[in-house]
Amino acid sequence: MQKPPEQPPSSVRIVPAAREQEPILANLLELYIHDFSEFHAVELGQDGRFGYKDLPEYWSEPDHHPFLITVDDKLAGFALVKKARGLSGDDQVAEHSVWDMAEFFIVRAYRRHGIGLAAAHLVWHQFPGSWQVRVMHSNRAALKFWQRAINTFTGHYVDPISIERGGKTWTVFTFQN
């Protein structure tokens, strides 16, 4: 029988990332993309880095929000939130504007301790309205995490939809805050 996760420290925080912290986020994105490369084909650049070309938009676009996640004032991950077009499960076309958890990452040493769950809930509380969370269908651990995080946040089961984009199947959770 698996031991239940420890209670997350009460000091889990999401901190808006300042422009001068962009290099910190870029470093964390390298770890995230490395983990993600197990499920999605990504290529290293000539400089040995994956890169994340959209990162500067998080300081130039009004509906883009970068956050650092900390535990006991130690860096533990990040969240990138933006306004996006919501997806319809039937015709896969944009139907309305929603908050989108564009990217979310918890450093491995902090996983399975409730820290990601606490951080996701803190993010959702910051932005009331409609939300979507997209997960690559092949990323089974992430699917399990997001189903639990969303269900505990909403207080009920949220039935996701599946969509196909670029030859990959994505699971999309939509819910209201």
Q: Is residue 3 part of a domain?
A: no
pLDDT value for 2? 38
pLDDT of residue 136: 86
Question: Has residue 138 been placed in a domain?
Answer: yes
Task: Print burial letters for 50-59: b (CB count within 10 Å at least 16), e (below 16).
Answer: bebeebeebb
* Nearest partner of 81 among 19, 14, 151, 23, judged by Cα: 14
4 inside domain: no
Cβ count near 27 (within 10 Å): 13
Answer whether residue 140 is part of any domain.
Answer: yes
Predicted local distance difference test score (pLDDT) of residue 7: 52
Between CA 68 and CA 156 the distance in angstroms is 28
Q: Do the domain assignments include residue 106?
A: yes
- Residue 34 confidence (pLDDT): 84
* 29, 103 Cβ separation under 8 angstroms: yes
> For residue 37, what is the domain's CATH number?
3.40.630.30
Residue 7 lies in a domain: no
How high is the pLDDT of residue 33?
Answer: 80
pLDDT at site 9: 60
pLDDT value, residue 30: 92
The model's pTM: 0.86
Structural domain count of the chain = 1
Establish if 38 belongs to a structural domain.
yes
Give the pLDDT score at 173.
95
Q: Are strands 13-16 and 130-136 parallel, antiparallel or unpaired?
A: unpaired
Q: What is the pLDDT of residue 167?
A: 79
Range of the domain at 81: 13-176
* pLDDT beneath 70, residues of the chain: 1-9, 40, 87-95
Examine residue 113 and state whether it is found in any structural domain, yes or no: yes
